[in-house]
């Protein structure tokens, strides 16, 4: 089955770009930032506690540690932390949210700061596109949408600020929409599919981001479950789940970038396939850039015979 899928995907990739897709593929290997860190499970901790303690997303921590029971991990167990990232293939400006990755990048600092986020579910997906930060509010009241009140008729029309308000203490509107980036009263929801389309952050992190983000700040929401990076000549692939099922042929979709760059011969396709299967959410080495061809006109690359 795996071999057949590989052949089918490669056959698609051998078509001209216009036949394989109407969208121009990205053609960049992006920088990699951060390093994988480790921590020890403390008594009575779950991976929810580990994620919160390091301000990471629960699903990201859980996927990187598939052999660790997320609910009853053995105290003293070493847990890897997803703190190494291929940057999204975007213009490095303002705020960027990679929806399937469930992370927000603040490119106004170098290196960019990274925030774990909760996103919308399949029924109420988060937005995609380029916007500007609109109206901002501290201690917002939640005007419960009609659709949510139909699901939960016990909710009032308006939930005032306080511990029962799912918007938390800060709200930043995405453009002129009804969606926003906000805090939470349920910290365990961060790094999960848990909202009706909004972007939810840890409380202390939305407070910090709120203070330094003026209205009009550029924000881009993208959908990149496959991110390609390079470091020291090595090619890396970072894979996240296709949460909204927008990339049905995952191998063909994942290989668009190396195909556009002419790098397919440089890849270990079995390593690519394993990365796609595991979805570890961190950069995985899958190939190496070709060695540069010596320039015969460069005196430093040519030798002069001696007698």
Report if pTM > 0.75: yes
Contacts for 302 with CB less than 8 Å, ≥ 6 apart: 294, 296
Report the C-alpha dihedral over residues 62, 67, 73, 76, rounded to 10 degrees: -110
Mean local confidence (pLDDT), 141-159: 83
Secondary structure of residue 38 in the 3-state scheme: strand
Mean local confidence (pLDDT), 162-187: 94
Q: Does residue 236 carry a pLDDT above 70? A: yes
CATH of domain 31-86: 3.10.350.10
pLDDT digits (tens, 9 = 90+) for 180-226: 999 999 999 999 999 999 999 999 999 999 999 999 999 999 999 99
Q: Does residue 22 carry a pLDDT above 60? A: no
What does the mean pLDDT of the chain come to? 90
pLDDT of residue 15: 44
Share of the chain above pLDDT 70, in %: 88
* C-alpha to C-alpha distance for 155 and 110, rounded to whole angstroms: 43
pLDDT of residue 240: 98
Q: Does residue 256 carry a pLDDT above 70? A: yes
Contact 286, 267 (CB under 8 A): yes
pLDDT digits (tens, 9 = 90+) for 99-128: 999 999 999 999 999 999 999 999 999 999
If pLDDT is split at 50, 70 and 90, which confidence band does 2 have? low
- C-alpha 6: how far from chain center: 25
Q: Is the dihedral of CA 173, 178, 184, 188 positive or negative?
A: negative
Q: In 55-137, where does DSSP find H-type helix?
A: 58-64
Q: Does residue 281 carry a pLDDT above 60? A: yes
Contact 68, 103 (CB under 8 A): no
Among 25-39, 139-153, 193-207, name the one with the lowest average pLDDT. Answer: 139-153
Mean local confidence (pLDDT), 161-176: 94
pLDDT of residue 152: 82
3-state helix, strand, coil in the chain (%, to 5): 25, 25, 50
Strands 84-86 and 78-81, bridge-based pairing: unpaired
Q: Does residue 64 carry a pLDDT above 90? A: yes
Residue 148, token pair as written in the block: 């949510």
- C-alpha 275: how far from chain center: 15
pLDDT of residue 154: 82
All structural domains of the chain with their residue ranges: 31-86, 93-222, 225-288
If pLDDT is split at 50, 70 and 90, which confidence band does 20 have? very low
Active site residues per annotation:
182, 198
Superfamily of domain 93-222: L,D-transpeptidase catalytic domain-like (2.40.440.10)
Instruction: Work out the number of other CB atoms within 10 angstroms of the CB of residue 163.
Output: 6
Strands 193-195 and 119-120, bridge-based pairing: parallel
């Amino acid at each position: 089955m795996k071999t057949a899928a590989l052949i089918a995907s490669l056959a698609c990739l051998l078509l001209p770009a216009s036949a394989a897709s109407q969208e121009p593929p990205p053609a960049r290997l992006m920088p990699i930032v951060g390093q994988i860190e480790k921590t020890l499970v403390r008594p009575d901790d779950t991976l929810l506690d580990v994620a919160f303690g390091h301000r990471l997303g629960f699903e990201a921590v859980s996927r990187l540690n598939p052999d660790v029971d997320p609910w009853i991990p053995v105290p003293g167990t070493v847990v890897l932390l997803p703190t190494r990232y291929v940057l999204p293939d975007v213009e490095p400006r303002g705020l960027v949210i990679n929806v399937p990755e469930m992370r927000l990048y603040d490119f106004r600092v170098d290196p960019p700061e990274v925030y774990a986020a909760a996103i919308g579910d399949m029924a109420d997906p988060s937005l995609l596109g380029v916007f500007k930060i609109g109206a901002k509010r501290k201690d917002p009241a939640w005007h419960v949408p009609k659709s949510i009140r139909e699901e939960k008729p016990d909710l009032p029309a308006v939930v005032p600020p306080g511990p029962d308000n799912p918007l938390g203490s800060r709200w930043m509107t995405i453009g002129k929409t009804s969606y926003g980036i906000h805090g939470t009263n349920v910290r365990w929801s961060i790094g999960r599919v848990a909202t009706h389309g909004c972007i939810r952050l840890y409380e202390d992190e939305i407070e910090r981001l709120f203070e330094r983000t003026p209205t009009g700040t550029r924000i881009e929401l993208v959908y990149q479950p496959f991110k390609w990076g390079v470091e020291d000549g090595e090619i890396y692939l970072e894979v996240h789940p296709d949460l909204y099922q927008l990339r049905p042929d995952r191998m063909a979709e994942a290989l668009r970038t190396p195909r556009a760059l002419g790098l397919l011969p440089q890849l270990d396709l079995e390593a690519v396939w394993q990365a796609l299967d595991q979805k570890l959410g961190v950069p995985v080495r899958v190939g190496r850039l070709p060695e540069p061809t010596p320039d015969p006109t460069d005196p430093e690359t040519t030798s002069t015979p001696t007698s």
